[in-house]
Amino acid sequence: MDHRAITLQRMQVFCAVYEHGSFSAAARALSISQPTVSKHLRDLERALGMTLFVLDHGRITPSNEAGWLYHQSKFLSEGVRELSKRITRFRSGAERQLSVGCVGMLTRHHLPQAVARIMEQMPDLNLNLWVQTAIEQLSAIRAGQIDLGICVGMVDCADLHAVRIGQGKLVLMAPKETAAAARMHVTPQDIVDHGVGIDVPFDRPLGKLFHNWLDGRAPSQAAGRIVAYSLQLMVPLAQQLRRSVVIDSFSASAIMEDDMQLVDLHPEVTFDVLAISARPLDQLGPARDLTQALQHMLAGTGCGTRQQE
């Protein structure tokens, strides 16, 4: 007997025919053609040296050998069905968990849309989300506390896996009554001479980009200086205090008020959006899928211009 000819698929076909009582019903149950069912049975009978079904007045009748074989092997078919159910649940996110940290600038629009997409694909996924700075995310990834971090700008992550998924840029947001708001663009010298009303910390990813753009020079500073260590604070502070601030294009795109003007920096300052993880993303399942969904959202927004619904 050729043991290699006794395959799992042939045993599944045999069990289906035995249980359903016909080739056509077995074919429907397995989503294969009736000729395929007939061929698998012929090949199995040849390998076993047994006659499993007898055609009697247009109907098939299982032989004694078939009854014995079914009771010996039905656990295979049952096991495959159970495995199929578990795979379906696994693909829907059951018993799986994903922990994600993200910078605040992407939490207003892009991340929620990406989350909605992945939850539609994997409705049983357990998802934990944090709004974190890049520094907090890198620390959490290295400690095994989150699976995926979404950072921007100049990030020190040589020991981790980083994938570029989008791009944004820096802009100046200025009250419309100020001279800066009337400009087509502002240069590093403009900032050095006149400063900004709310400073960006130079030790943060976007602050490093801004500092490099200034060529290491410090903006003019006046009394009452404010340094905002959170992007989420910068826009409302600038609006409330009527001060200018350099912010990212994603945060700027969410501005609805008419009393603030966005002014380009010249030369332009762009930054990458990075998906960062401890292992390659293609090994991380849900993290990979969320990253792809977020990348799709970012692809339609250029350098931060909000995607139209």
Q: In this predicted model, what pLDDT tens digit does every residue of 30-60 receive, in sequence order? A: 999 999 999 999 999 998 889 999 988 778 8
Q: Which two tokens stand for residue 289?
A: 């899928």
Average confidence score pLDDT of the chain = 88
pLDDT of residue 201: 85
**pLDDT, average across residues 286-301:** 89
Give pLDDT tens digits for 112-154.
999 999 999 999 999 999 999 899 999 999 999 999 999 998 8
Give pLDDT tens digits for 208-217.
888 899 998 8
**pLDDT, average across residues 218-247:** 85
How many angstroms separate the CA atoms of 11 and 15, rounded? 6
| 3-class SS of residue 31 | coil
**pLDDT, average across residues 210-235:** 83
Q: How confident is the model at residue 300 (pLDDT cuts 50, 70, 90)?
A: low
- How many H helices and E strands in the chain? 11, 10
Give pLDDT tens digits for 96-109.
899 999 998 899 88
pLDDT of residue 217: 85
**CA atoms within a 13 Å half-sphere pointing along the CA-CB vector of 284:** 23
* Residue 66 near residue 74 (C-beta atoms within 8 A): no
Tell me how far CA of residue 191 lies from CA of 56, 126, 176, 196, 220, in angstroms. 94, 46, 17, 7, 7
Give pLDDT tens digits for 6-30.
888 899 899 999 999 999 999 999 9
pTM above 0.75, yes or no: no
Peptide bond into 267 cis (omega under 30): yes
Q: Which residues contact 121 (CB under 8 A, 6 or more apart)?
A: 289
Quick one: which of 159, 180, 162, 163 has its CA closest to 171? 180
pLDDT of residue 31: 92
How many angstroms separate the CA atoms of 63 and 256, rounded? 78
Percent of the chain exceeding pLDDT 70 equals: 94
Q: How confident is the model at residue 74 (pLDDT cuts 50, 70, 90)?
A: confident
Give pLDDT tens digits for 165-210.
999 999 999 999 999 999 999 999 999 888 888 888 888 888 888 8
